[in-house]
Amino acid sequence: VGRLKAQMVNAYYAQRIIDVFEKNPNTPLNKESINEIFSFDADAA
């Protein structure tokens, strides 16, 4: 169960990143932008 949940969470974050870069194709892939993507749900992780 834990592994399945981890896979679902990873897929969710991967889709979040894809969505962000599709909307902002010129956004550089850097630590700050990644932290911004992940920070909104850090408490739930």
Distance CA 3, CA 17 (A): 21
> How many helices and strands in the chain, by DSSP H and E?
2, 0
Distance CA 15, CA 38 (A): 12
Tokens of 27: 């956004």
pLDDT digits (tens, 9 = 90+) for 1-45: 788 888 888 888 888 888 887 787 676 666 677 777 676 655 554
At 41 the pLDDT is: 58
- Please give the model's pTM, rounded to 2 decimal places: 0.43
At 45 the pLDDT is: 47
Distance CA 22, CA 3 (A): 28
At 28 the pLDDT is: 67
- Do 39 and 33 form a contact (C-beta atoms < 8 A)? no
